[in-house]
Amino acid sequence: MDSISVNYSGADSDVIYLNWPEEKTNDLDSFIILGEGNDGVESSQISSFWSGLSSPKWNAYKESKKLVEEAPYHPGYEGAVFNDFAKPISEKIKERLLKSSKRFNANDNISEFIKDGEIELLVDELTGKFASVLDTLVIDRQNDPNSHDTAKRLAKMYIYELMDGRYTKRPDATSFPNEGSDRFEGMLCVRAELTSMCSHHHQPVRGIAVIGIIPTGRVIGLSKYVRIAQWCARRGQLQEDLVNQIAKEIMHATDTENVAVYIQATHGCMENRGVEAHSSLTQTSVVHGLFHNDSVKAEFFNNVKLQLSK
């Protein structure tokens, strides 16, 4: 019977680890427990190895391990989370995108190419990458109490917060009919607070969007305008792209071209580095449909002034 090298975690644990980064194999079928010490483990403790070495599942893991051991060294892949084909989960997602000729820029949503459970694996993989970054910055993650879990916190912040708009589906925005003699024919303006991230330097972008719409046949709930704007913002963005994305998504949700969006924001890449311009403010706007009309455009920007005076 073949044996495998393990990192054993104690007599009360039924979890053992293969000899590459944290690839847990506790879900394999069966194992034999021997009352012998191994690699410095006290004789009162147990070492373990698997008896089901001929099972298809075990053979798949052995082949994956062989591929990992024989693969060229790639800096930055230390601690990556591998699937059954010995590739980081990020590579599997990328393969699906490339196969579908889908763009995956910093501000693109890629949620349709991510399977259930893979977000958590992506967080685990990213944790290893951030740990390598901290090590390269010569930060003592083992002994600095403030840095113990920083890699995990950074990974969760990027996936679940700063870039959440890349990995989650479009917010539900149920539309309602706006018809009949009492339909609303005026202009609706909604203000949304935004937090985004500059895709150049990954610095925070904070600001306000004012969304204007002249409804045709459908309207959506007021909170949905804000949710859609925030979903677009939580990615690596340029403000010029963000204003266009918000307008496009609002037009999609409301089935009308009569949409205008104004954004003003401060950029960390301007404040925290480079010119360090702490009073800098960036403004962008886009108009569609009836908002190209001069009088309608003037009404919208008057409403923007009122929104920003609050």
pLDDT value, residue 127: 96
Is the domain spanning 175-308 CATH 3.40.50.2000? The answer is no
pLDDT value, residue 270: 85
pTM here is 0.72
Q: Give the residue from 134, 164, 138 showing the smallest Cα distance to 151.
A: 134
Rounded (10°) CA dihedral 152, 148, 141, 132? 0
> What is the residue extent of each domain of the chain?
1-71, 76-167, 175-308
* Residue spans of the chain under pLDDT 50: 1-54, 73, 83-84
pLDDT value, residue 232: 98
Question: Angle 289-293-295 (CA atoms, 0-180°, nearest 5)?
Answer: 135
pLDDT value, residue 181: 84
Give, to the nearest 10 degrees, the angle between helix 222-233 and helix 239-254. Answer: 140
pLDDT digits (tens, 9 = 90+) for 48-99: 333 444 455 556 655 655 555 555 545 555 555 554 456 899 999 999 999 9
Give, to the nearest 10 degrees, the angle between helix 118-136 and helix 89-99. Answer: 120
pLDDT value, residue 65: 56
What's the chain's Rg over C-alpha atoms? 26
Look up the CATH architecture of domain 76-167.
Orthogonal Bundle (1.10)
d(Cα 78, Cα 86) in Å, to the nearest integer? Answer: 13
